Structure 1
Amino acid sequence: MRDPLRPFVPQYHGMVTRGEQCYMRLEDLLSGLRRPVIMDCKMGLRTYQEEELAKALNKATFRSDMYQKMVKMDPSALSAEEHAQRGVTKWRYLQWRDTTSSTSTLGFRIEGIMMADGSVQRDFKKILTSAKVTEAFLYFTKSQLDILKAYHTRLLALSDALTNSSFFRTHEVIGSSLLFVHEHSSKASVWMIDFGKTTPVHDTIKLRHNIPWTEGSREDGYLIGLTSLITSLSQAISVASCQEEDSSGEGQSIT
């Protein structure tokens, strides 16, 4: 049976082999776009799997690279012991990233934005409120109402598809992203990508995706993030509409 999520993921075109490695061939979501504008939103209330938590507790492996990333952003977040060993576990780093971004407050975080000129902005890690996300959407779309409305419509359709998807009910979706793509002259769209940490749950479990995670529940909070995104987009549409009305009014008064 065709799952309702099918229109929201890249098409699968089989496997290809390069040397000793096999890869999936997927649809190019940027095909035909000359100057695409792209935003990556990491979805859910957490970006680590429960298995990673168990592994960190049973057999800790300390990562110096992740320690350095934490030192660069907030050295006070590290304990004296972590400073002494100059390393943190992957789970500790991912948990810290989640709690210091909108992942833990809104159920998603903006990973980065690439504008039409190729410039990339990644300074969104400290965005914690819906109002700041609204500002990011206005920046990303340059307050273009048609693009904002197209994204809003697409997310509402995705919400319906997720609600009716048997795949979604039976899979824990961790570390997956929503890819927002538009071009000045073409329709905007949103795609679900990055399923490397998407895993099936036991037959007796039916995930809700709209409640906070507790250890052992396998809940990911994906729908909490999607609802937050839709709310911020609605606010961005209101702001852009007011800006357009003000601009139109100024033009009429000049004439």
Structure 2
Amino acid sequence: MPQVTETDQEANASTDHVTDVRVPGNFRAGDEGTIQKRLCGREQECLKQLMLDPLRPYVPEYRGQIVTEDGEDFLQLQDLLGEFEEPCVMDCKIGVRTYQEDELAKAKEKPKLRKDMYDKMMLIDKSAPTDEEHRLKAVTKPRYMVWRETISSTATLGFRIEGIRKSEGFSSKDFKTTRSRQQVKEAVTMFTEGYPDAVFIGSSLLFVHDASHASVWMIDFAKTTPLPPGVNISHGAPWRPGNHEDGYLTGITSLMSILREMDAEASP
């Protein structure tokens, strides 16, 4: 039987965001117009390529790498909130899964029973663990990783809301079990409340609006990697371990459908 352990970080680490719901320590203020994000080589390489890509206007501008006085490496990025006054921010994670295939495969190689993940599961849904998991008071990392996606709209719609910050100070990451289309729609409606013209028709991970304008960007590329040679994906086909499908277009389609519905309801 695998031994019980409490080591490692969260299996499905969530947001690295330019909001106050971001991961503590991953971001620091930069020079005017910039923000510094802790270095991830994979994300850095992706950003370098995106600076030469037609998608460049829709991602944060990459402005190089710096080393802080205490010897830590950070990426310098465009501060996406710099042009806004009292911005409202919504962070969406796009795709039918938020872990890479190799992460799941590695976790399955020598699965250990994790008390910390059992505790996280219990905090969200006490009925989620099996009788055996209740007896052991632990679950394996692969079990937790797959289960984590099923409790939110990641599994049902191909995207989920990670966090929302409103201009009046309201901030929440309490969307772990926001799963149904109606629940998601209510959350997006809350995000745009008072600003009916800010309903977005488009797709991204980071939505920002204030009283006068709105923008949307693709962010967070730490888990973005090139496909293996000879592999093609549609970004919309069902994912099975090994086929590399990510469901990105599934999430975009769902999100656009909800936003169009809101836009139609708001129109005279």
Fold conserved between structures, TM > 0.5: yes
Q: Which has the larger Rg?
A: 1
Which runs of structure 2 are paired with 1:58-73 in the superposition (5 Å)?
58-73=109-124
Distance 1:104 1:30, change over 3 A: same
TM-score (norm 2): 0.75
Would the aligned equivalents of 2:93 and 2:161 in 1 still touch at CA under 8 Å? yes
| C-alpha distance in 2 between matches for 1:80 and 1:182 | 46
1:208 aligns with 2:241: no
| Between structures 1 and 2, the one with greater helix share | 1
Q: Which amino acid aligns with 2:208?
A: V
1:144 to 164, 177, 195: 195
Distance 1:61 1:118, change over 3 A: farther
| C-alpha distance in 1 between matches for 2:141 and 2:98 | 11
1:178 to 190, 205, 208: 205
| C-alpha distance in 2 between matches for 1:58 and 1:123 | 32
TM-score (norm 1): 0.79
| C-alpha distance in 1 between matches for 2:80 and 2:234 | 29
Tell me what 1:118 maps to: 169
| C-alpha distance in 1 between matches for 2:139 and 2:220 | 25
| C-alpha distance in 1 between matches for 2:71 and 2:141 | 28
| C-alpha distance in 2 between matches for 1:240 and 1:97 | 34
User: Once the 2 structures are TM-superposed, how far is the Cα of residue 143 of structure 1 from its aligned partner?
Assistant: 5.5
| C-alpha distance in 2 between matches for 1:90 and 1:194 | 23
Deviations 1:50-97 (A, max 9, x none): 112211221124433322211111121112333344333333222112
Deviations 1:9-57 (A, max 9, x none): 1000100112332111111111133311011111101112111221122
Which runs of structure 2 are paired with 1:121-136 in the superposition (5 Å)?
121-136=172-187
Deviations 1:120-178 (A, max 9, x none): 12333333332332222221101633211xx21xx1xx6xxxxxxxxxxxxxxxxxx70
Which runs of structure 2 are paired with 1:48-67 in the superposition (5 Å)?
48-67=99-118
Count residues in correspondence: 217
Structural RMSD (CA): 1.9
1:94 to 145, 148, 167: 145
Tell me what 1:10 maps to: 60
| Secondary structure at 1:98 match in 2 | helix
Would the aligned equivalents of 2:108 and 2:142 in 1 still touch at CA under 8 Å? no
Select between 131-140 and 204-213 the one with higher mean Cα deviation: 131-140
Distance 1:90 1:39, change over 3 A: farther
Would the aligned equivalents of 1:144 and 1:240 in 2 still touch at CA under 8 Å? no
Select between 216-225 and 13-22 the one with higher mean Cα deviation: 13-22
2:222 to 182, 196, 203: 196
Gaps of 5+ in 2: 1-48
| C-alpha distance in 2 between matches for 1:100 and 1:200 | 28
**Percent of counterpart pairs with the same letter?**
49
Distance 1:55 1:84, change over 3 A: farther
| Secondary structure at 1:113 match in 2 | strand
| Secondary structure at 2:60 match in 1 | coil
Gaps of 5+ in 1: 159-176, 246-255
